[in-house]
Structure 1
């Protein structure tokens, strides 16, 4: 009986505190006052049980019979909670019935009081306990129906909401199931069952879990409070268990006087001691920090100021400079900070932040011999700096992506301008060509040579900047290459074809010729002055890929030039436009293929074309022709 009274007292006390707190939160959350009413009614309901056991039976029965107000307040809360951020005709109709349901609830409570809806009974465990009778059963049934209606509204809210609001509803359902299991034992004696209502001893947990489930996703500050509350609750349980063990052991040790002290007094002393410890925790913690970490002046305000200042940095050198300044001012000694793209620091104390495979990490070189207080400040600052490094890294990535987007837009504009200028240049060049017809042979030959060069440059500009429209078909590769070979002035360079006779390629004939001419011209420009200059073109096929290789024995391409090899306007040969390889790459990309430079195929310079072929058989033979 004593345990039951303590449980009801704890539940009532918790409910009063929660009701006050929820009412205060109602200034920002419109659903909270109704939940505060639910908590207040639970406090009165528990107080009614205590009043019955203390002999105030009339008051106690009146408070217990008022229990329909508990689910009524909860139904009101559920409607407001679901309607926050969402509204439809169904919720509107339910909201309009709330005042009517309040009136019906109060009427039923008054009838229950008037017609004695309850009685006082006793059992082997209780001298006085509440049991329903007569209209009291209607009271109980109505209470259950209101609870079902409230959870029905929550189920509807779970369907229409998402995110944290849905998570809150899920938590309320779990807490409701727990509460139903606990409250079921309340009606044991009403049904004539002489069972002790053990589940009701855990009733304080129901209210706490219910309210916490509601607010933990809505008010983030409550989670820190819940963390501390859970810690102190576990400590309370452990101390009470220890006191019970000590009380049982004192008699065996001959300390009869201490063994006869009532258990509830020992538990009360334990609670008082824990409350005193809780009150002294912060001052003692500050004193302990002062003794263990002397000179440390870290405050939440200072940490927030550091965080805001560090996040203003827009580059790695700026972040390193600001970090050194802030920490050096705090410690009154020179501290170096090493970040990516910053020089190594010569300071004795350093903070080094680096990007690992998974995440950022920090090192503290030179901090081994400093005092614990300085070490603590260094580690706290390094943790803040790591957070700023992550933010800056993301900012730089976003800035780089934006810069590339703007560069792409600029290239598109430049391409359109180049195409326009190239078209306009053709007219004056034609006039110059016609005017040169009457000039001396030597002069005319020189003019025609330069006009051909200008026309080739214009053609390259149009190819690179214009729209690529492909007209693909199946082409016999070897005849096309032999035709190019016959048309080209090889200037003493030996050419060798290693292409199967029956190999067919699905590509645009004109664009493919353009690719091969650009690669061959590029190869000739570098190898024609070499002894025994040679260019070899080979091809091979698989089920879904055709590979064309263009080799030459000219000088190898330096490693520092390979990264920009296919970039436009990058030319390393005299008279080149810098667009040949860029055009090759663009045409290959339009075909869904790739081009790459290789130096590991037995030749100083090799360019490999990869054409992905459609799902159609490609006829090829194993014999290879040589020229």
Structure 2
């Protein structure tokens, strides 16, 4: 390939890229005031390259005029630098903020160009590899000097911006400096013939890279869409270089294989045909990809707006049940088929098309069931939707954890306040109660008995209040369960109530003996209070094992608890029992949770009333000296 033709191809490629980039910057950078000036720089680069092509094509007047318009390139870049550096919280020096400098410089630039045109600032000569090439003469040297000074001024402004800015803006400025150094190295070959050096301007062949590096270095940190564009551009450029290398190899092998006609085809033509074929493939890739997607996944077209709608709707859910309902409705509306979604704590609603989301040791996973007979398009939408649903599950899980932590914090704060109030009340109430007890000593026996009974009730109420509101200090040890139960039961006034104890000998609990007695006394007292007046009243205490834990049941055949009271059983100051404080079951729950266990009311065990106590039996998880609040 002739050197002049190679030069033309380079200038044509640079000019085409510059025009495309100028249009793209004007379209994509409308919200950033510095981008139009950079688009002007790219447009002038296109005209400058077009001037060199015109000279090679024997249009000297047009070509010289375009090349002598060279100062507009650094002028636009200077304009861009001023706006780019000043666009932010960091102000420019006062001399750049007056607003009159740029119009003056544009006027001077226009004057220099006009003088260069009128004064014959350039001419065309033959040079190495060219029958016609531009050189400066006369006032044209002033044109060149002014161009260089504008470029220096623009980079001085960028240096000032580098000093006052940080982050992405500073990175952009560094990229511009690196690209400017590369551009200066390439541009030096342009003036070889003007200096009397009969050298071919090889560096100018790489001029397209300067424009791409400069613009990409600027906008990659400012306009994110350019990064996706650059990713595709680098991919296709790599493919182009690979095809060119392959064509060179094929051209060298054709003669050895006896294909003389094909081997006689110039390598430049093979490269040109290959490049055109690759460019045609790049242009057809997107529509062909969409066509293939429609053929393979009919009815499965997804776009960004639909995915954003799905994501927004799913993230509004405040509970697992709501998330499952929203997810099922969204996908059912999209596919026009019934789709059910199962999530943790949302219940099993598997019917027809089903999506199951669960969490295991490796994280959140989904499973599609019933989708084997649907079309690939529906299957694709189900897979994409399930992936979005997993993301919403992670977000909801974190949200619920934060809400639970905040609730526990408020509960703990409430207990601290209640504990301080209870201690003060106990102190203030026990003093007058002691005075009443002493004064009652001289009253008749019957009256004294009633007073003593009410004093015990008041003292029990104070003790319960202190137990509920104070911190629980556990002294845990191995304690035999059956002897403990026998001791507690022997102290009760059964009054004809039958009690069955179904606890094996040798069974031990790792727990606080005093606190466990509190739990069992509260439960047996409640049971006796409700079934003492029943015919054939019975209480049964039994144990079971559950995966290493111990379940202790306290049953009675007294009247069943009303369903509307189930949710409030363990809340403080809620009582069905006459004379009760309403704190017994609340204290039981606090003690059990302090041990790492739990208590619940059961109605499915064959007794009207059953309470289940779960004791965790992992001593390593509990120290022998624990001061633990239930709400931690």
What TM-score does the superposition give when structure 1 sets the normalisation length?
A: 0.68
Q: How far does the alpha carbon of each residue in 1:369-426 deviate from its partner, in whole angstroms, 9 at most, with x for none? A: 6554443233222222223223323333343344345445544554565466556545
Q: Distance in 2 between matches of 1:364 and 1:349?
A: 8
Match in the other structure for 1:210: 214
The one of 81, 85, 88 equivalent to 1:82 is 85
Q: How does 1:314-333 map to 2 (within 5 A)?
A: 314-331=318-335
Match in the other structure for 1:395: 399
The one of 329, 337, 341 equivalent to 2:341 is 337
Change (3 A) 1:355 1:100: farther
Q: Is the 8 A contact 1:67 1:143 kept in 2?
A: yes
Q: How far does the alpha carbon of each residue in 1:72-126 deviate from its partner, in whole angstroms, 9 at most, with x for none? A: 2112111111212224351663564323333333344344445554444443322
Q: Is the 8 A contact 1:530 1:554 kept in 2?
A: no
Change (3 A) 1:59 1:356: farther
The one of 38, 47, 50 equivalent to 1:47 is 50
Q: Distance in 1 between matches of 2:135 and 2:242?
A: 35
Q: How far does the alpha carbon of each residue in 1:470-527 deviate from its partner, in whole angstroms, 9 at most, with x for none? A: xxxxxxxxxxxxxxxxxxxxxxxxxxxxxxxxxxxxxxxxxxxx97xx969xx9x999
Match in the other structure for 1:180: 184
Match in the other structure for 1:6: 9
How far 1:366 sits from its partner (Å)? Answer: 5.3
Q: Is the 8 A contact 1:19 1:39 kept in 2?
A: yes
Match in the other structure for 1:109: 113
Match in the other structure for 1:22: 25
Q: Distance in 1 between matches of 2:381 and 2:115?
A: 68
Which ranges in structure 2 are unaligned for 5 or more consecutive residues?
488-509, 520-542, 544-548, 553-569, 574-582, 595-614, 628-632
Q: Distance in 1 between matches of 2:184 and 2:319?
A: 58
Q: Distance in 2 between matches of 1:394 and 1:600?
A: 28
Q: Distance in 2 between matches of 1:49 and 1:336?
A: 68
Q: Is the 8 A contact 1:418 1:461 kept in 2?
A: no
Local SS of the residue matching 2:625:
strand
How far 1:39 sits from its partner (Å)? Answer: 0.8
Change (3 A) 1:601 1:4: closer
Q: How does 1:212-227 map to 2 (within 5 A)?
A: 212-227=216-231
Match in the other structure for 2:36: 33
Change (3 A) 1:61 1:277: same
Local SS of the residue matching 1:86:
coil
Q: Distance in 2 between matches of 1:208 and 1:423?
A: 83
How far 1:42 sits from its partner (Å)? Answer: 0.8
How far 1:436 sits from its partner (Å)? Answer: 2.9
Does residue 369 of structure 2 align to residue 353 of structure 1?
no
How far 1:272 sits from its partner (Å)? Answer: 4.1
The one of 147, 151, 160 equivalent to 2:155 is 151
Q: Distance in 1 between matches of 2:223 and 2:626?
A: 61
Q: Distance in 1 between matches of 2:485 and 2:295?
A: 83
Change (3 A) 1:89 1:52: closer
The one of 133, 147, 169 equivalent to 1:165 is 169
Deviates most, 41-50 or 92-101: 92-101
How far 1:270 sits from its partner (Å)? Answer: 3.8
Match in the other structure for 2:296: 292
Q: Is the 8 A contact 1:527 1:555 kept in 2?
A: no
The one of 421, 429, 433 equivalent to 1:429 is 433
Q: Is the 8 A contact 2:65 2:117 kept in 1?
A: yes
Q: Is the 8 A contact 2:468 2:590 kept in 1?
A: no
Local SS of the residue matching 1:201:
helix
Does residue 363 of structure 2 align to residue 363 of structure 1?
no
Q: Distance in 2 between matches of 1:154 and 1:369?
A: 62
Q: Is the 8 A contact 1:519 1:581 kept in 2?
A: no
Change (3 A) 1:438 1:178: farther
Change (3 A) 1:420 1:84: farther
Q: Distance in 2 between matches of 1:423 and 1:84?
A: 69
Local SS of the residue matching 2:316:
coil
Change (3 A) 1:607 1:369: same
Could you say what the CA RMSD is over the residues aligned between the two structures, in angstroms? 4.7
Aligned length: 520
Deviates most, 178-187 or 408-417: 408-417
Q: How far does the alpha carbon of each residue in 1:432-488 deviate from its partner, in whole angstroms, 9 at most, with x for none? A: 345435335864776776676566667778976xxxxxxxxxxxxxxxxxxxxxxxx
Q: Is the 8 A contact 2:116 2:143 kept in 1?
A: yes
Q: Distance in 2 between matches of 1:554 and 1:423?
A: 23
The one of 68, 73, 78 equivalent to 1:70 is 73
Match in the other structure for 1:607: 624
How far 1:38 sits from its partner (Å)? Answer: 0.7
Change (3 A) 1:433 1:118: farther
The one of 439, 444, 459 equivalent to 2:443 is 439
Q: Distance in 2 between matches of 1:426 and 1:114?
A: 112
How far 1:220 sits from its partner (Å)? Answer: 3.0
Change (3 A) 1:40 1:342: same
Q: How does 1:237-276 map to 2 (within 5 A)?
A: 237-253=241-257, 258-276=262-280
Which ranges in structure 1 are unaligned for 5 or more consecutive residues?
465-513, 532-548, 586-596, 611-627
Q: Distance in 2 between matches of 1:26 and 1:553?
A: 75
